[in-house]
Structure formats: structure tokens, C-alpha cells
Structure 1
């Protein structure tokens, strides 16, 4: 009994600092005071902190994919990625960088065994040239074109 009385009187340095801060009113105007904690009304989710971090930081969902799936998605979107590049050398540099990362993954695969092929640089450059040589679409005027009555026949 005597030992319990000792610990009941004991106040740690941290407890003392918290008590002093409460007495000074340091916790009086904190945002969210008196409101329930967010996420406490739903079912328990063991990954709540991961989901919260992803949402808070704005991490794209593709960043969470395994490496081979990320590489495949990049390969599929490569034509759109190089569309606005100014020179053929820049297009080839982007393709060679992607091919380098694909070869690196093939040498030491990690994650699921997903087949990833290297990208053909000539096909990408041809697509880039074709988009460059295509005439830009005509601007829409917003109203339908009308033919004059004397030109209808």
C-alpha cells in the first residue's frame, strides 16, 4: 500500500509540462477542439494511416503499383508522353531511358512476373513524325455552316 501512494504522488516531467500548458491555456484554441476525430465513425481499417497519407500527400495510385506494371503503363502511354517533345533526339532519349529501365528490371526482376517488352524506338519516332505532319484540326466556330438557298441544288 505504501508503494502505491508513492506512485500516486509522482508526476513525471512530461506530465508536469502538459499540466502547466493546460493551466496556461496553450491547448484552448486548437483547431478541431470539441469535434470528433476523423475516421472514427466508420469500420476499423488496419491500413487507415496509409490511406490517409496517400490522400493527404496526393500520391498517384500508379506509384503504388509494382515495377513491372509501372513500366507497362509507361510503355502504353509513351506515344502521348512524347507528343509535345520538340526534337527527334528528345523522343529517342525518352524511349532509350524507358528501355534502360525495362532492361534493368529484366536483369533483376522484383515483384510479380509480368512480361514487359522493350519499346521499338523507330515505331515511336514514326508516330511522333506522323502527328507532327498532320494538319492541325480546324477551329470550331460554334455554329453550323449553312448553305445558301441558291447553292442547294
Structure 2
């Protein structure tokens, strides 16, 4: 049986933790269909066909199809790993400014999906954390 969501934990972070734990246990390895191409559009399900075509034609990662209120928190969550791969402070700042610009833009636009809960990051503080992590 799946554990219950702890009181006070956001649903998204609870689900993300369960997924991460399952990945660590290897539960997503050797799944049927893994590594196989997406199905050809059938014409019977226009929404699914649109997604399949969009992913194939534009070579987009699936996260690009999510509303900003879901995609941006995930980017913030994955940011430490992304910054760890950055070789220069200049690149770290570029990554942070790009993310902050997209967060600000998402707050200015009408909301699609769940409420947007992320706020722009403190660039100087994050750069300092990046520097400390490299030492």
C-alpha cells in the first residue's frame, strides 16, 4: 500500500519524492515499451495525436508541454544538478537570469493549470552557493 501524504506536504513534492524513490529502487527499469518510438497518430484521438506530432516534429522534451505552474517548480527543483554542471560563474548567472525571466513572465500571464508558487531566485545567493559547492 502507498504511504499517505504527510500533513502539510504539498501534493506535488510528495508525488515527486515517491517517483524519485521508485526510480532509485529501479522500478522504472525494463518497462514494456521503453526505448520504443511513440505510436503513429491514428486520427481517432486528436489530443494524443497532436502531442505525438508535436514531440516528434519539434524534438521537444515532454516537460515543454506542461503549463508553467508545473514546469517551473520542476526546473527549480532540478536547478542544483544543472548548476553543478556549469563550468563558469557567468554560465550560472545566465541560467539563473533565464529562469528568473521565465518565472516573472509566467506571473504576468494568465494562469493555466494549478497556481504558480515559485518566485524568482536570488541570483547572488545562488551563485554563492554554487561557489561554495565547488570548493
What is the TM-score normalised by the length of structure 1?
Answer: 0.49
Once the two structures are TM-superposed, the CA of residue 115 in structure 1 deviates from its matched residue by: 1.6
How many residues are paired up? 93
Provide, for residues 63-108 of structure 1, a one-character-per-residue CA deviation record: whole Å limited to 9, x for no partner: 1100222221111111211222222222122212211221122122
Partner of 2:61: 60
Q: 1:97 & 1:55 partners in 2: Cα distance? A: 23
- The 5-angstrom pairing of residues 31-46 of structure 1 reads 45-46=45-46
What is the TM-score normalised by the length of structure 2?
Answer: 0.54
Partner of 1:5: none
| More helix, by proportion | 2
Structure 1 ranges of 4+ moved more than 3 A: 44-48, 54-59
Larger Rg: 1
Q: 2:124 & 2:95 partners in 1: Cα distance? A: 12
- The 5-angstrom pairing of residues 84-103 of structure 1 reads 84-103=85-104
Give the one of 129, 132, 137 matched to 2:131.
Answer: 129
Partner of 2:76: 75
Judged with a 3 Å threshold, the aligned counterparts in structure 2 of structure 1 residues 52 and 104 are, in CA distance, closer, same or farther, namely: closer
Judged with a 3 Å threshold, the aligned counterparts in structure 2 of structure 1 residues 109 and 115 are, in CA distance, closer, same or farther, namely: farther
Provide, for residues 34-74 of structure 1, a one-character-per-residue CA deviation record: whole Å limited to 9, x for no partner: xxxx787xxx6453422542564453221110022222111
Q: 2:41 & 2:103 partners in 1: Cα distance? A: 40
Cα RMSD (Å) of the superposition?
2.6
Partner of 1:50: 50
